[in-house]
Amino acid sequence: MSKYSIYCNGDISEQKRAELLLTGQQRILDMMANDDPLNDILTELALTAERINPGIICSILLLKGNQLFHGAAPSLPQEFTKAINGIHIGSCAGSCGTAAYHNKLVIVEDIATDPLWADFKHIALEHGLASCWSIPIVDARNKVLGTFAIYHRTPATPTHEELKLIDTFSSLASLALGHERTKRKLEESEQRYKSLFKYNTDAVFTLDVNGHFLTANKAAIALSGYSRKELLNMSFTLLVVMEDLGKTLKAFRETLNGSPQNFEMCFQNKQGERIHLNITSVPIVVNENVTGVFCIAKDITDRKLYEEQVHQLAHYDALTHLPNRHLLQERLNQTLSAAKRDRHMSALLYLDLDRFKVINDSLGHDIGDELLREVAGRLLTAVSDTATVSRLGGDEFIILLPKIANQDEAVTVAKDILENMQTPFNIRSYELRITASIGLVFVPQDGATADELIKRADMAMYEAKRAGKNTCCIFAKEMEDHALQPALLENDLHHAIERGQLSLYYQPIIDLVSGEVSGMEALLRWHHPEYGFISPGIFIPLAEETGLIHSIGRWVLRKACLQSKRWQEEGFRPIRMSVNISMKQLQERDFHQHIKSILDESGLEPQFLELEVTESTIMQNEQTVIENLTQIKALGVRISIDDFGTGYSSLSYLKRFDVDTLKIDKSFIHDLPDHHYGHVITTAVISIAHSLNMNVVAEGVEKEEQWKCLESIKCDAAQGYLFSPPSSVETLQPLLETGRWNERET
């Protein structure tokens, strides 16, 4: 035996030690079972070890963070206990600090000479402590909870039996600490459970396996309108409205089967009020058996009402309460599918009031608005309940007849509407007479898409105008052929600038964080004296094909830069002006010189001009285009990629051109936030673009939920009809004066 070993000191036999260990373990386990205080259990543990091996002094320290704190040390001098309380663990922090730091047994035979005690030996020696063996106390995952240490008043080294004793008592200490942690968690869970019932402002209740109320907090009782006595033992299903009963019972059964549920339903309280709830239900499990259901119900009635209001605003015209363009297109798409599937005929009537502008301008907008409401009422009475009467805006209405027997039936409806309009409208003190012009198309033969059908019905309506008004014209292919005949349009387009037929409209770009107007996109419009507004989708390709795009493009750039500078001179905050540039323009060798010349003439600083090009334009990698883009960037002008997602969609490739802004095409935005893949793709594009230091603008934002979704996924800015349609300078004046978009005004 080593000269330092003192295991056999005293007269205690091996049998006696075994008995002391056994009774000590049982006493400690009994204390745990009785939920005695942790300090008492640890103290008894230390004393038991000291009884088994007289002469040793035991210490238990508990680890919190990176410090060891006093747990139990009944035989250590109190001054020493206080001195080491809060010691930081480390690679040279005495026996206990080092054992906890490295998670391994540390044996120091002589504190006076061992380097681990270099910083602490004076404390130990001062209190007559000469050696210290320390082992970490760990949990089932080998995480250090503290240390169990044995001190001697003389230098000593442990025998094999003493090492087993240390290991045994560290395991007992681990068990005690684990028991304390479990007890604390149970107490916290119980307290949270009580708090849920007592303090939760949401309704909290439990149901038995038959769906009867077992318990309910004050919020649940108040929500139901019943007294506690009435509510308890009542079946929850008695409160559920009939239309939601099926899904509620399904959720209840799924919960009883062990699957937590989250669902929305509506119930009717004792007073007859309908209340919408969002319910989270989880099974109550006792001894592995489901004995009931625990529910937390949040009152979402206000949210539901708000959603209904949002739906109303998104799908219905605010003035007439008729379906708007968005809802019309949904129903028209459904009608198209049904017509193709079932091989029946439908019809679309495009109605525009004759001379409405005269009434509106001479008698005022209030009278005009009342007249439009009256017209809407008459249109509803003139058609069947299955028809959709919608207002596109202004004095334009569209009537969708989802199923007709033949073309004559639709013509009869149109004639009835025209006859109905013959009766004067009595608005306040005025007797107003007004007529209408109607364009008629048939589904599906006159168009494969909703947009195509509306456009052709519009053409037919203008034919009715040209035919003298107050009549109906059926669409014929010749109308489209004439309207889109390139030779005729090309000749007119040559003179469009000099005749003042071209104009710029501007659509604001809104910063989604601040709500400020961060930019304007200049959009070219052609108002033809005979055909009215011609779609840019028609005349821009024609201009590119004929080479007119060069002169028209320079005119657009010059006018947009002058307008941007004029707004600055009028005192408005400088914002970026975005102008679309075609491939043809970028192929001009001196195009960047034209940009510089226009900037010099207008006085607009380069950083306030942003040129929009399509991704397919720069992906062609044409040398002239690359050189122009490089020279344009050198001027300080920003580059934006328009309609991103419709071409190659290579973000890394775009970065080669030092692109500043990425505009996500409206096709990705249209179904947000409901369409999962659109949401995922949009989020990914924004994230990658930001990592490449690109600004991201979403196009075609028409609904508030799209705006909220884009805001949540960190999109920088957006534009679309939710904020403003493309508008004239005069119309945009109020928005520029405030400098920010206010959603309450939309």
CATH code: domain of residue 594: 3.20.20.450
Higher-confidence position of 214 and 308 = 214
In this predicted structure, the answer to whether residue 193 has a pLDDT above a threshold of 60 is no
**Confidence at residue 683, expressed as pLDDT on a 0 to 100 scale:** 84
- Per-residue pLDDT band at 4 (split at 50, 70, 90): very low
- On whether the CB atoms of residues 372 and 308 are closer than 8 A, the answer is no
* Residues 518, 445 share a domain: no
Q: How many beta carbons lie within 10 A of that of residue 546, not counting itself?
A: 13
* Residues 363, 233 share a domain: no
Q: Which two tokens stand for residue 214?
A: 């077992």
Q: Which of 475, 499, 530 is the last residue of a domain?
A: 475
**Confidence at residue 161, expressed as pLDDT on a 0 to 100 scale:** 79
**Confidence at residue 374, expressed as pLDDT on a 0 to 100 scale:** 94
Q: Which two tokens stand for residue 294?
A: 């625990």
**Confidence at residue 745, expressed as pLDDT on a 0 to 100 scale:** 47
**b/e string for 378-414 if b means 16 or more Cβ within 10 A?**
ebeebbeeebbbbbbeebbbbbbbbbbeeeeebbebb
Higher-confidence position of 407 and 360 = 407
**Confidence at residue 192, expressed as pLDDT on a 0 to 100 scale:** 55
- On whether the CB atoms of residues 604 and 577 are closer than 8 A, the answer is yes
- On whether the CB atoms of residues 59 and 96 are closer than 8 A, the answer is yes
- Between helix 325-342 and helix 450-466 the angle, nearest 10°, is 110
Task: Judge whether 485 lies within some domain.
Answer: no
Q: Which two tokens stand for residue 619?
A: 């992906």
Start-end of H helices in 495-650: 536-546, 549-569, 583-586, 591-602, 615-619, 623-635
CATH code: domain of residue 95: 3.30.450.40
Q: What is the pLDDT of residues 497-533, one digit of tens each?
A: 888 899 999 999 999 988 999 999 999 998 888 777 7
Q: What is the pTM of this model?
A: 0.41
In this predicted structure, the answer to whether residue 648 has a pLDDT above a threshold of 60 is no
Mean pLDDT score, 659-680: 77
**Confidence at residue 627, expressed as pLDDT on a 0 to 100 scale:** 86
CA proximity to 602, closest of 555, 552, 640: 555
Write the CA distances from 605 to 328, 408, 567, 609, integer angstroms. 44, 62, 13, 7
- Per-residue pLDDT band at 233 (split at 50, 70, 90): confident
Highest mean pLDDT among 360-369, 559-568, 643-652: 559-568
Query: Considering only 5-19, 48-62, 257-271, 392-406, which range has the smallest mean pLDDT?
Result: 5-19
* Residues 554, 701 share a domain: yes
Q: Which two tokens stand for residue 470?
A: 């107050």
Start-end of H helices in 607-703: 615-619, 623-635, 651-654, 666-669, 676-691
Distance from C-alpha of 722 to C-alpha of 167, rounded to nearest angstrom: 71
* Residues 568, 447 share a domain: no
In this predicted structure, the answer to whether residue 215 has a pLDDT above a threshold of 50 is yes
CATH code: domain of residue 355: 3.30.70.270
**Confidence at residue 472, expressed as pLDDT on a 0 to 100 scale:** 93
* Residues 577, 707 share a domain: yes
* Residues 322, 382 share a domain: yes
Percent of the chain with pLDDT over 90: 42
Task: Judge whether 8 lies within some domain.
Answer: no
Task: Judge whether 713 lies within some domain.
Answer: yes
Higher-confidence position of 634 and 648 = 634
Task: Judge whether 162 lies within some domain.
Answer: yes
CATH code: domain of residue 214: 3.30.450.20
* Residues 692, 574 share a domain: yes
Residue in this structure with the two tokens 């600090």, named with its chain if needed: 97
- Per-residue pLDDT band at 539 (split at 50, 70, 90): confident
- Computed over its alpha carbons, how large is the radius of gyration of the chain? 41
**Confidence at residue 8, expressed as pLDDT on a 0 to 100 scale:** 40
Helix or strand holding residue 35 (H, E)? none
Q: Which two tokens stand for residue 104?
A: 């391994």
* Residues 39, 73 share a domain: yes
* Residues 618, 693 share a domain: yes
In this predicted structure, the answer to whether residue 746 has a pLDDT above a threshold of 70 is no
Higher-confidence position of 675 and 350 = 350
Q: What is the pLDDT of residues 697-721, one digit of tens each?
A: 999 888 888 889 999 889 999 999 8
Higher-confidence position of 596 and 465 = 596
* Residues 455, 514 share a domain: no
Provide the Cα torsion 379, 384, 387, 393; round to 10°: 10
Task: Judge whether 704 lies within some domain.
Answer: yes
- Per-residue pLDDT band at 341 (split at 50, 70, 90): confident
Q: What is the DSSP string of 311-338?
A: HHHHHB-TTT--B-HHHHHHHHHHHHHH
- Per-residue pLDDT band at 365 (split at 50, 70, 90): confident
Distance from C-alpha of 348 to C-alpha of 438, rounded to nearest angstrom: 10
Query: Considering only 299-303, 307-311, 719-723, which range has the smallest mean pLDDT?
Result: 307-311
Q: What is the pLDDT of residues 133-192, one digit of tens each?
A: 999 999 878 889 999 999 999 999 888 878 888 888 888 888 888 777 766 765 555 555
Residue in this structure with the two tokens 């501007």, named with its chain if needed: 506
Higher-confidence position of 417 and 177 = 417
Q: What is the DSSP string of 60-92?
A: EEEEETTEEEEEE-TTS-HHHHHHHTTEEP-TT
- On whether the CB atoms of residues 207 and 292 are closer than 8 A, the answer is yes
In this predicted structure, the answer to whether residue 650 has a pLDDT above a threshold of 60 is no
Task: Judge whether 126 lies within some domain.
Answer: yes
- On whether the CB atoms of residues 520 and 507 are closer than 8 A, the answer is yes
Q: Which of 299, 329, 355 is the last residue of a domain?
A: 299
CA proximity to 719, closest of 585, 618, 608, 576: 576
* Residues 75, 106 share a domain: yes
* Residues 252, 324 share a domain: no
Q: Which of 268, 299, 330 is the last residue of a domain?
A: 299
How many contiguous H segments (helices) and E segments (strands) does the chain have? 28, 27
- Beta-carbon contacts of 26 under 8 Å, excluding residues fewer than 6 positions away, are none
Helix or strand holding residue 703 (H, E)? none
**Confidence at residue 117, expressed as pLDDT on a 0 to 100 scale:** 92
Q: Which two tokens stand for residue 113?
A: 């000479």
Q: What is the pLDDT of residues 11-22, one digit of tens each?
A: 567 778 778 887
**Confidence at residue 481, expressed as pLDDT on a 0 to 100 scale:** 55
Task: Judge whether 343 lies within some domain.
Answer: yes
In this predicted structure, the answer to whether residue 622 has a pLDDT above a threshold of 50 is yes
Mean pLDDT score, 423-437: 89
Which domain covers residue 211, as residue numbers?
Answer: 200-299
**How is residue 282 annotated by DSSP?**
E
Q: Reduced to 3 states, what is the DSSP secondary structure of residue 436? A: strand
**Confidence at residue 616, expressed as pLDDT on a 0 to 100 scale:** 63
In this predicted structure, the answer to whether residue 608 has a pLDDT above a threshold of 90 is yes
Mean pLDDT of all residues belonging to the chain: 85
Write the CA distances from 130 to 69, 125, 156, integer angstroms. 21, 6, 8
**Confidence at residue 7, expressed as pLDDT on a 0 to 100 scale:** 39
CA proximity to 629, closest of 639, 620, 642, 621: 639
- On whether the CB atoms of residues 418 and 436 are closer than 8 A, the answer is yes
Q: What is the pLDDT of residues 431-456, one digit of tens each?
A: 888 899 999 999 988 888 988 899 89
Start-end of H helices in 206-355: 218-224, 228-231, 242-256, 301-315, 325-342
Q: What is the pLDDT of residues 260-293, one digit of tens each?
A: 999 999 999 999 999 999 998 988 887 778 888 9
**How is residue 449 annotated by DSSP?**
S
CA proximity to 523, closest of 315, 670, 699, 711: 699
Task: Judge whether 310 lies within some domain.
Answer: no
CA proximity to 132, closest of 112, 107, 114: 107
Q: What is the DSSP string of 102-119?
A: HTS-EEES-TTT-GGGTT
Number of domains present in the structure of the chain:
4
